[in-house]
Structure 1
Amino acid sequence: MRPIEALLEIARDEGVTQIFGNPGTTELPLMDALVEAPDLRYVLGLQEGSVVAMADGYARASRRTSMVSLHVAAGVANGLIGMLNAMRSRTPMVIVAGQQDRRHLVQDPMLSGDLVGLAASTTKHAVEVQHAYDLPIVLRRAFALAARPPAGPVLVSVPMDLLEEDTDVAVPARSPVTGPGAAPVHDAVALLAGAERPVVIAGDGVGRAGAVADLVAVAERLGATVYHQPMNDGIDFPTGHPLYAGMLAPRNAIIRERLAAHDVALIVGCHAFMPHHYTPGPSVPDGLAIVQVDEDPAEIGRNFAVRHGLTGNLSETLWALAGQLDGRVPEARERIERLGAEHAAARSEVEDRARAAYGASPMAPRAAAHAVAAGLPHGTVVVEEAITAGLELRAVLRQDLPGSYVHTVGGGLGWGIGAAIGTRLGNPERPVVAVLGDGCAMFGIQGLWSAARYEVPVAFVVMNNGEYRTLKNTLDEGGGASAKHGQYVGMDLNPPALDWQSAARLFGIDAVRAGSAEELRDAVAGVKSLDAPLLIEAPITGHGEGA
C-alpha cells in the first residue's frame, strides 16, 4: 500500500468521513487521491482559521476525532488560533500539515518552515514524519493521543514527496483502548455526606464525558448548589434545574466570594478555574474542603489543595458517588426545595429586566439575548461567540439537553462561524443558531462561504453594536483616561458601519435585519425550517447607550 493510500485507509478506520482543509501544492497528492475516495468528503474553507473552527465544531457534535489538512508554514500559522481554541476546549483533532519536498528543504523553499515548532504550543503533540514506512504508525499514534484525556489537537507534518513515494507500507490495526473505570469513592462520600452547605462546580469535562445525568444524580442526593465553571464551553448541568445557580464569573475574587458560602465543594471535570481578568488572591477560600474528580490526573490539586482527588472515568465515578450517597443526606429534599425557590426568584428577576428592555431600537443587549432564547425551538444548539452579549445570553438560556450550547474557552476570535458550520455537519438532526458579536464575526467571516457552498442550514445572528464593547467596559472599571474623557482608541467599528446584509450577499447567503426584539425572536424561531444558511443582523445599543 502506497503512503497516500495508507493515510486514507487509517482515516477511514479511525471514523473519519470528512476532511476539513484548504489545499496548496503540498496537498496535491492528497487531493488527487480523494478523487478515487468518494467516501471521504473534503470540506473546503477559504482560510485556515475557519477550517480548524469547522473541525472543532464537527468533533464536538459528532463525538469523533476530526481531521484537518493544512498547507505548509503559512497554513499552519493561520490555523494556530483554531488549534489554541481546540487545545483549551479539549477537542480531539488530527491535523495533517503538508511540508515542502524534502529534496530541497535545505534551500529554504518558499513557504517551508518549522511546522512542529510553530504548532508546539497550541497542540498536545507535533511531529514531522521523516520516512514513508513511519507514516502509518505516526498517524495511529496521533489519533490515539488526540482522543486520550485530556483530549486535544495533534499535528503531523508530512513532506509532499513522502506521500508520492512508490513504497509499500504496512498499516497497523487500530488498537481499541478501554479507559480507567470508577475511582474509589468511599472517603469522598463521607466528606460530601457530612457537608452542611455543599456546592458542585460542573466543568466541561462532564459534558465531554456524557456524564451530565450522573452529575445531576449526585447533586440531587446532596441537595447542593450547582455552578457551571467560568465561561463553560457546553451544557454540563441542566440550566433549568432547581439546583442550578448559574455560571461562576471568570475572576478569582468573585469565585472566592461565591464559594465562601459553602463548606464542601465537589469540582468535576474542571480545568482549574481559568480566570480572565486578574483579581488578587486565590479562587478558593480558606477552609473549603474540596473533592475533585477528573479524567486527567494532572488536574488534581493543580491550582488548589484538595481533600480527596479522584481520577477515573467521570461517568462511572459520578455514578458510584451517587449510589453511595443515596439516602445518606436526609435533608437533601428540603435543600432542593429551598434552593429551587431562591434560584427561581433570581431567574424571574433576570427575565423581568430583559422583558422590560423590549421596545428600544436599537435593541438593548439583554432584550436581544432574551429574544434569541425565547425564539429557540426545542433541541436547538446555540454556538456562541458574542463576548458581552454572550454573558446576557447565558443568563436567560434554559437548556437541558446535552450538547445544546457550544462555546470556546480558548478565546481566539473568529471561531464562531466555522464552529457553527461544523456543529451542524457533525449532527444534522439538530438546528443550529450561532450568536456572534460583530467584532468576532469579522475575524472568521470567510466561513460564510463554506456555509453557502455546502448549504448548511445555520442561522447566524450577528449582534451589531459597532464596537469592541468588552474593552470599553473593562477600561471603565479601571477608571483611567478613557473612562474619564469618554474616548476609546481603536475600539469603534463605526464609521464606516459594517453592512452585514451586504456581507452575507457577497458570500451567497440570504440575510434579514431584525429591528426589534419581537422580530429577532421570530427570525430565530424559523431556524427549524431552514434549508440553507441565513444571516440575521440584530442591531443593539453600544457602550453608554442603555442596558
Structure 2
Amino acid sequence: EPLASMAEKHALPVVEYWSTRQALPTSHPMHAGRDPTPWVRDADVIVAVNAMVPWVSDHVSPPEGCVVVGLGPDPQFRAVPMRSFEMDISLGGGTQATLQALSDALDAAATGDDHAERRARVAAFRDEQAQAVAKRVQQGRGRPMNPAYVSQCLSDAADDNTTFFNELGFDPGVMQFDAPKTYFSSPLSGGLGWGLTAALGAQLADRSRQVVACIGDGSYVFANPVACHQTAASHGLPLLTVVFNNGIWNAVRRSTLYMYPDGKAATANTMPITQLAAMPDHAAIARAHGAHAERVEDGADLPDAIARALEATRNGQQALLDVVVSY
C-alpha cells in the first residue's frame, strides 16, 4: 500500500524484478514492467526495495550522479560473498514500515507538482509494451505455441484466488497480477526443480487457493516428478502443473548465448548439453498418479484444455498439462 501510494502521488515508475510477490498491481498506471534496463539507464534516483540484484550490471548501470537507495531488512545483503552494487543511502528496517516512513517523508516534501511529463512518459512506455505483448501473443497461437500465448491463456483463466509459481515457464510480462499471493518466482541462480516443489508446499498450506506450477520441461525433470505427483496424490492436493515443453534445456542455451554470443557453441546446429530428447511422456507420469493429464500441441486447443484441468482441480484432483512450445 505505501508503494502504491508513493507511485500514484509522486509519479514514480515502479519496476518489478526478481520479485517473489508482485509489489504493485500490474494494472497500476505507474507500473513500468519487469525489466529495469530502460529505467536504470537515465534515472536520477533509484530505490531498490529488498532487491539482491536490482539490475544486471553487464547490461546497464545508472548514470553518473544517480542516487541509489537500498531499502529492506538488509539493504546491503551482507551475507552475499560478492555484490557489486554501490549504494548511496541504506534504509534498513522492515520493508512495509520503511516504505511507509519514506512515503510520509515524500508527502511532506511534495511541492504540489503532478509530474505530468513523467506520467506521460510512463503511459507512452506502457502503450508500447502493450503493443509488443499483443504481437508476441498473436505470433504464438499456432503450432507450436509460444510461451507468451500460453501465459495469456493461463492469465485469462485465473482470478485473485489463483497462485502462480513460475520456474522458467510463463512470460509474466503478458499476465495480470492485481492481488497479493498471486505470483511467486525465483532467480535463475536458485536450484532447478524449485517451482513444482514450492507449489506443492503452497497448496498444502492453503487448499482454498488454486495453485498453478508453471515450469520448463527441464525443471520438471529436475523436480523428480514421480515423487512430486505421489506427494500430491498422498495428500489429496489439487495442484495444476503446466509443463512448458520445448525439448531443450533453455536456461543453459540462453546463458551460453548471453556470455559467448560469438562462441563455438552459438554457431552449432545443436548446442552441447542443451538437448532433452528423448523426453518421457509427462502426461503419462502424472496420469499414473491419478492426475487429469493432457498433452496440448495446438494453440486452438489450449483454452479448453486449461478449463478441463481447472475443473478437475476444483473436484479435488491434481492435473497436468504438457504444453508444446517453441523456444
User: What is the TM-score when the length of structure 2 is the normalising length?
Assistant: 0.86
Runs of 4+ in 1 over 6 A off after TM superposition: none
Q: How many residues align?
A: 314
Counterpart residue type for residue 291 of structure 1: V
* 1:279 aligned onto 2:66: no
- Counterpart pick for 2:195 among 416, 425, 443: 416
Question: Matched residues in 2 for 1:537 and 1:310: separation?
Answer: 45
The alignment partner of 2:152 has SS state of helix
Question: Matched residues in 1 for 2:130 and 2:254: separation?
Answer: 26
Q: Please name the residue that 1:248 is paired with.
A: 35
- What stretches of structure 2 of length at least 5 have no aligned partner? none
Shift of 1:527: 2.5
Counterpart residue type for residue 120 of structure 2: R
Counterpart residue type for residue 455 of structure 1: G
Q: CA offsets per residue over residues 419-466 of structure 1, 9 Å max, x none?
A: 111111222222111111000000111211101111111110001111
Check whether the contact 1:379–1:404 (CA below 8 A) recurs between aligned residues: yes
- Counterpart pick for 2:71 among 290, 293, 310: 293
Question: Matched residues in 2 for 1:458 and 1:339: separation?
Answer: 41
Counterpart residue type for residue 321 of structure 2: I
Compared CA separation, residues 236 and 271, structure 1 to 2 (3 A)? same
Question: Matched residues in 1 for 2:209 and 2:186: separation?
Answer: 19
* 1:225 aligned onto 2:13: yes
* Matching of residues 207-218 of structure 1 within 5 Å: 213-218=1-6
The alignment partner of 1:324 has SS state of helix
Shift of 1:322: 1.9
Question: Matched residues in 1 for 2:320 and 2:104: separation?
Answer: 47
Question: Matched residues in 2 for 1:485 and 1:292: separation?
Answer: 42
Question: Matched residues in 2 for 1:297 and 1:333: separation?
Answer: 28
- Counterpart pick for 1:377 among 159, 184, 194: 159
Q: CA offsets per residue over residues 159-179 of structure 1, 9 Å max, x none?
A: xxxxxxxxxxxxxxxxxxxxx
* 1:486 aligned onto 2:269: yes
Question: Matched residues in 2 for 1:329 and 1:238: separation?
Answer: 26
Counterpart residue type for residue 215 of structure 1: L
Compared CA separation, residues 484 and 308, structure 1 to 2 (3 A)? closer
Question: Matched residues in 1 for 2:210 and 2:279: separation?
Answer: 30
* Matching of residues 89-108 of structure 1 within 5 Å: none
User: What is the TM-score when the length of structure 1 is the normalising length?
Assistant: 0.53
Q: Please name the residue that 1:344 is paired with.
A: 126
- Counterpart pick for 1:458 among 232, 239, 246: 239
Structure having the higher Rg:
1
* 1:235 aligned onto 2:28: no
Counterpart residue type for residue 298 of structure 2: S
The alignment partner of 1:246 has SS state of coil
Compared CA separation, residues 308 and 355, structure 1 to 2 (3 A)? closer
Counterpart residue type for residue 19 of structure 2: N
Compared CA separation, residues 377 and 523, structure 1 to 2 (3 A)? farther
- Counterpart pick for 1:531 among 297, 301, 316: 316
Shift of 1:360: 1.6
Percent identity, please: 25
Check whether the contact 2:69–2:87 (CA below 8 A) recurs between aligned residues: yes
Question: Matched residues in 1 for 2:77 and 2:182: separation?
Answer: 26
Question: Matched residues in 1 for 2:132 and 2:55: separation?
Answer: 26
* Matching of residues 152-191 of structure 1 within 5 Å: none
Shift of 1:288: 0.6
Task: Indicate the larger mover: 217-226 or 508-517.
Answer: 508-517
- What stretches of structure 1 of length at least 5 have no aligned partner? 1-212, 250-254, 543-547
* 1:499 aligned onto 2:302: no
Counterpart residue type for residue 63 of structure 2: P
Q: CA offsets per residue over residues 184-232 of structure 1, 9 Å max, x none?
A: xxxxxxxxxxxxxxxxxxxxxxxxxxxxx11111222221111113x22
Check whether the contact 2:42–2:63 (CA below 8 A) recurs between aligned residues: no
Shift of 1:499: 0.8
Shift of 1:345: 0.8
Indicate the RMSD between aligned Cα atoms, in angstroms: 2.6
Compared CA separation, residues 474 and 296, structure 1 to 2 (3 A)? closer
Question: Matched residues in 2 for 1:431 and 1:339: separation?
Answer: 37
Check whether the contact 1:452–1:533 (CA below 8 A) recurs between aligned residues: yes
Shift of 1:365: 2.6
Task: Indicate the larger mover: 317-326 or 376-385.
Answer: 317-326
Counterpart residue type for residue 461 of structure 1: V
Counterpart residue type for residue 468 of structure 1: W
Q: CA offsets per residue over residues 252-281 of structure 1, 9 Å max, x none?
A: xxx4x6313211122222224374xx728x
* 1:394 aligned onto 2:176: no
Q: Please name the residue that 1:511 is paired with.
A: 293
Counterpart residue type for residue 154 of structure 2: V
Check whether the contact 1:457–1:531 (CA below 8 A) recurs between aligned residues: yes
Counterpart residue type for residue 320 of structure 2: L
Q: Please name the residue that 1:433 is paired with.
A: 212
Task: Indicate the larger mover: 454-463 or 372-381.
Answer: 372-381
Check whether the contact 1:434–1:460 (CA below 8 A) recurs between aligned residues: yes
The alignment partner of 1:434 has SS state of strand
